[in-house]
Amino acid sequence: MGCDTAVLNWMVDHRVDWVTTVFWVITTVGNTFAMFVLSTAAWAALLTSKRNVDAWMVAAAMLTGWGLMNALKFAFGRERPPFPERLVEIASHSFPSGHAMMSMVLATVAIAVMLRSATAWLHWPVLLALPVIASLLIGFSRIYLGAHWTTDVLAGWVFGALWGLGWIYAFTLISARNPSAER
């Protein structure tokens, strides 16, 4: 945990009031509830657009990802960084970061949905990068505010990306076996 402590100490030593405020906003907007609101909106929009496979991929990835995240927190039982370094009051375990994991699950499946779209502008590299940039900012906010150790956030991103990729693969297989399924 030497690297985790060193990063936390560096963050604490370099905190600036306005940056802290910006990261409070990012961490609030990027919480797991907000990720479920966004994924529910995406699910509804995809169903309305008759992109049923994509809609259910998003729903499956997010719902099971939330369960996995909670199971991992319970299994590892890692304590959060101490006060006063931690600027966030939260009672759950630290590993993995739920903010990082769930935002990366959503980012991963969102990129897949964008790439599977017939709408050409959704394939623009700048737009495809936005979900990942958002997840990176959300995770970094958790480190900056002392809500998580750096390794919690890194693990959240890795677990989230892998979980999202797993669901993309599963739904790609389902679509390949059932070509009449609507995208």
pLDDT in tens, the chain (183 residues): 589 999 998 988 889 999 999 999 999 999 989 999 999 999 999 999 999 999 999 999 999 999 999 999 999 999 999 888 787 888 889 999 999 999 999 999 999 999 999 888 989 999 999 999 999 999 999 999 999 999 999 999 999 999 999 999 999 988 888 766 554
- Burial of 144-172, coded b for 16+ CB within 10 Å and e otherwise, reads bbbbbbbbbbbbbbebbbebbebbbeebe
Residue 180 confidence (pLDDT): 66
Residue 89 confidence (pLDDT): 85
- How is residue 162 annotated by DSSP? H
| Domain 2-177 fold | Vanadium-containing Chloroperoxidase; domain 1 (1.20.144)
Cα→Cα distances 16→11, 12, 52, 140, 141, Å = 10, 9, 46, 15, 13
CA nearest to 27, candidates 134, 142, 130: 142
Q: What angle do CA 59, 61, 65 make, to 5 degrees?
A: 120
Residue with tokens 């998003």: 58
Distance CA 121, CA 107 (A): 17
* pTM recorded for the entire structure: 0.90
Residue 1 confidence (pLDDT): 59
